[in-house]
Structure 1
Amino acid sequence: MGLTSCDVLPRSGPNKQEIYAGSVQREGDAFVVAANDRVTRATAVVPALGFSSNFINAGQVGSDTVRPGDVLGVAIWENVEQGILASAGAPAALQEVQVDGSGFIFIPYAGRIKAAGNSPEAIRRIVTDKLATQTPDPQVLITRVAGDGATVSITGAVSAQGVYAIERPTRTLGAMLARAGGVAVNPEVAVVKIIRGHTTGQIWYQDLFEDPRLDIALRNGDRILVEADTRAFTALGATGTQTRVNFSTQNLSALEAIAQVGGLNPTLADPTGIFVFRNEDAEIANNVLGRTDLVGAQRMVYVLNLTEPNGMFTARDFVIRDGDTVYVTEAPYVQWAKVITALTGTLGAAESLANAGSTVGLLGAP
C-alpha cells in the first residue's frame, strides 16, 4: 500500500486547516477569532490584586499599646506614713498584674481598669486619678514586664521566616518584610498575602513601592504569606520547547510568552499560524464576537499572524492569561518534506532489500 495521507506522518499537533475545521462557523465547538487591536483590548484582563478599605484605612497601632495577656509591673508610692497601700516612700507590695481576656486589670482601691488599647503611660494616669481621691498625690509607675506587644507571623518565600514583634520601625507591611530579610523570589512575580481574622487581602510585592496606600499598618496576629505567582501557560507545537511555563512578569504578552520558551523553531514554525486556546468568560466572549446571547464559558481560539503588517504589534499587545495554551503550527513545507523523506526512505529501504536479495541469489548460485 502506498503513502496516501500526511496523517500517518509524525507531527507536533493539528495544522491550521484542522483547527479552523473545528470552529463554530464550521459546526465545531470553538470560536476561532483573528486577533486585532479591538480583540486585544477586549481580552486584556489581568488579575486585580489589592487590599480592601478595611486594610487601607486601619491606622497604625503604637508599639507600646497594651493587649490582653500582657503582664504589667505596677509600683505605687504614697506621701503619708500610713497609706492605703504602702507606708511613706515605700512602694506597694503589688508588683505584677496580667491583663485579662477582656482587656482589664484590677488595682486595689482603684478598681477594675481598662488596660487593653492603652499605653502604659495612659494606664498610669488612669490609676493616679483613681487613687488621688483616696490618698494625697500618689506616684504611680506602670511598665510592661512580659509580652512584647503585638506580633505578626511571616512565612513563605522570605529570607527569614518567623514571628516578629510590631515595633516602632516595623509598624507597616513594607518595613516588616524588610525585617524578615525581604522576598526570596523574583520581586516582579512575588505576591504578598495578609490574613487578618476572617479577612484576606493580597497584592503584588512591587506595588508596595508604587502605591504608598498599600504599605498598610499591621495588626496583632496578622499572618503574612509571601509566594511566587502561580499562574502558568502551556507552550506546544513548533516552539523552542514544549512545556508548562510559569509567568515571569505580572503582565505577559503573546510575544513574550513565545520568547520565554525559546521563540519559534526556525526550521518548523509557521509564523502565520500561532494560536492561543482559552476558555473565555461569556462577557468577554460576547464583546469579542459582537454578540449578547452567549452564556457561560466559551471555547475561544485566537489567531496571531506575525507576517501581517501589524502582526508583531498585535502579538506584543495580546495578553496571555493563566491556563492559556499557546500553540504554533508547523509550516506547510515541513509536512511535504516529511512526505518526501518518508518516500525516499521507503524507496531506499526497498532498494536495499532488492540488493540484499540479489546478493543472496548470487551467493546461492552453483
Structure 2
Amino acid sequence: MQIKNIVPLVLLAGLPGCATLPSSGPTGEQIRKSAVAPEDLPPINVLEVRAAADVPQFSKAASPAAILMQTAVTPTDMVGPGDILDISIYEAGVTLFSSNNNSALAQAASPPGVQVQKLPPARIDDQGEIAVPYIGTMHVAGLTTRDVEAMIRKALLRVSQNPQVLVSVDEAITNSIIIGGEVAKPGRLVLRTNRESLSDVIALAGGYRGNSKDLMVRIMRGTSSADIRVNDIIEDPTLDVPIRPGDRLMLVDDPRTYSILGASGRVEQVSFRRSTVSLAEAVANAGGTNPNLGDPAAIFLFRYVKDAEGKETPVVYHLNMMQTGSYFLAQKFTMQDKDVLYFGNAAANQPSKLVQLISQLFSPVLSVTSAVSVIQNSN
C-alpha cells in the first residue's frame, strides 16, 4: 500500500477524537446553561457583577464579644476550688496557737510580744471549703483573700485575744486560664490583673509559633466559643477581646485558602497573604487568563453564601474582564476562605485545538513519507 493511501485512513482514525478535544473546563456559556438545571441540585444563581452595587459586601463574622458568654470582671484575689492558701495568725498576750515552729522571717516581721503561727497550706476542696484549727470547715469559694481573713478573725475572737490574720494565695487555679496549641509555653497561665486581653495572654505564653496569617485562636468560655484570626487582631483592635478566668484558648494552624481552576496561568490552591485579598489580586496571583486557552470575559467565582436562615446556598459571580469597569470592581471584591476562582475556556479556541490535533496526527505520516522519499531517491 502506498503512502498516499495511508493518509485517508489516518484522517478517519482521528475524526472520532475531534468530538472530545482536550479542555481545562467549561466555557462561560456552558457554565450558565449548567447552572440553570444542575444535576441533582436546585438551580444555581449566577450573578453578573457590572456595577458597585453588584459587589457582595464583605461578611465579617459575628463579634467575638457578642458570641462569648459575658462574665463580670472578678477581683484578682478571689479564691475558689483548687486554690492553695497560706494563712498566718498573729496573736498578742495569751496565745491560742503555739509559736515553736514559727519561721525566722515571721518572727522578725512581728512586733515584740506578738506570736505568729503560719498554718499548713490549705487547699480549697471541690465544695469550696477549707479546714482551720479551732474553727472547723469554712466555705470560702467566691470570696477574696480579705474576706477570708475577716471570716477567720471573727471566728477566732471567741477563743483568742485580738487575733490578726493574713491570707495569701500560694497557688492560683481560680484566677487562671489554659492556653495550648501553637504557643511557645502552653499550659496554665495565672491572670495577674484580670485586665489581660487576647494578645496579652499570647505574649505571656511566650508568643505564637508559625505565621500569624495562618493561625486561628479558639476561645472557649463556658458553653460558648469564638474563633479569631491572630492576624486580624492587628488590623481590627476590637477583636482583641478581654480574657476572663476559666477561659480555655487553643491556637491552631488553619490557613485560609482559595482555589484557582480552569484556563488560568496556573492551577493551584493559594493561601491568603494578608487578612483580606481582593479578586483583582487573586487574578494576578493566578497569572491571569491563559492567552492560548482562556476567555477574559468569562471569570467566575464560586462561593457558598448563607441566607437569612443560616443555610448555605451556592452562588456564582461573573465578571467580564474585557470591560474596563470590571478591573475597578475586582479591587472592591473581597475573597473569602474556600472560594473557587475559575477562568472559563474560550469557545474560539476549539478550532485551533482541532488544527493542532490534526497536525499531531499528520506529523508521523509526513515523517514516514519524507523517509520513504529519501530511500527511493537514493535507490
Q: Using structure 1 for the length normalisation, give the TM-score.
A: 0.79
Shift of 1:328: 0.7
User: In structure 2, what is the equivalent of residue 287 of structure 1?
Assistant: none
Shift in CA distance, 146/18, structure 1 to aligned 2, threshold 3 Å:
closer
* 2:86 equivalent to 1:73: yes
* CA distance in 2 between partners of 1:299 and 1:77 (Å): 73
Deviation string 1:30-77 (CA, Å, 9 cap, x unpaired) is: 443322336644x43535143244847434444433221222232323
* CA distance in 1 between partners of 2:172 and 2:35 (Å): 66
Shift in CA distance, 283/203, structure 1 to aligned 2, threshold 3 Å:
same
* CA distance in 1 between partners of 2:43 and 2:173 (Å): 62
* CA distance in 1 between partners of 2:77 and 2:38 (Å): 71
User: In structure 1, what is the equivalent of residue 337 of structure 2?
Assistant: 322
Contact 2:278 2:330 survives alignment (8 Å): yes
- Between 84-93 and 60-69, report the one with greater CA deviation: 84-93
* 2:265 equivalent to 1:225: no
Secondary structure at 1:168 match in 2: coil
User: In structure 2, what is the equivalent of residue 236 of structure 1?
Assistant: 261
Deviation string 1:316-338 (CA, Å, 9 cap, x unpaired) is: 22333333321112345543433
Deviation string 1:253-310 (CA, Å, 9 cap, x unpaired) is: 32222223333334443211111233444559xxxxxxxxxx9765433211112131
Output the amino acid matched with 1:10.
P
User: In structure 1, what is the equivalent of residue 48 of structure 2?
Assistant: 34
Shift in CA distance, 269/142, structure 1 to aligned 2, threshold 3 Å:
same
Secondary structure at 2:360 match in 1: helix
1:258-297 alignment to 2 at 5 Å? 258-281=283-306
Contact 1:13 1:237 survives alignment (8 Å): yes
Shift in CA distance, 259/226, structure 1 to aligned 2, threshold 3 Å:
farther
Secondary structure at 1:326 match in 2: strand
Alignment equivalent of 2:120, drawn from 92, 95, 99: 95
Shift of 1:162: 3.2
Alignment equivalent of 1:46, drawn from 56, 59, 70: 59
Secondary structure at 1:319 match in 2: coil
- Between 327-336 and 65-74, report the one with greater CA deviation: 327-336
Shift in CA distance, 254/110, structure 1 to aligned 2, threshold 3 Å:
same
* 2:183 equivalent to 1:183: no
Q: Percent identity?
A: 26
* CA distance in 1 between partners of 2:35 and 2:230 (Å): 41
- Between 125-134 and 302-311, report the one with greater CA deviation: 125-134
Shift in CA distance, 5/148, structure 1 to aligned 2, threshold 3 Å:
closer
- Structure 2 regions of 5+ residues with no counterpart? 1-11, 100-112
Shift of 1:241: 1.9
Output the amino acid matched with 2:49.
A
User: In structure 2, what is the equivalent of residue 344 of structure 1?
Assistant: 359
Shift in CA distance, 265/184, structure 1 to aligned 2, threshold 3 Å:
farther
Shift in CA distance, 212/271, structure 1 to aligned 2, threshold 3 Å:
closer
Contact 1:189 1:248 survives alignment (8 Å): no
* 2:27 equivalent to 1:15: yes
Contact 2:21 2:354 survives alignment (8 Å): yes
Contact 2:173 2:190 survives alignment (8 Å): yes
* CA distance in 2 between partners of 1:72 and 1:141 (Å): 10
Shift of 1:3: 4.3
Shift of 1:188: 4.3
Alignment equivalent of 2:148, drawn from 99, 118, 123: 123
Secondary structure at 1:328 match in 2: strand
Contact 1:40 1:319 survives alignment (8 Å): no
* CA distance in 1 between partners of 2:370 and 2:232 (Å): 73
Shift in CA distance, 341/320, structure 1 to aligned 2, threshold 3 Å:
same
Contact 1:274 1:328 survives alignment (8 Å): yes
* CA distance in 2 between partners of 1:115 and 1:324 (Å): 54
Contact 1:173 1:217 survives alignment (8 Å): yes
* CA distance in 1 between partners of 2:206 and 2:338 (Å): 32
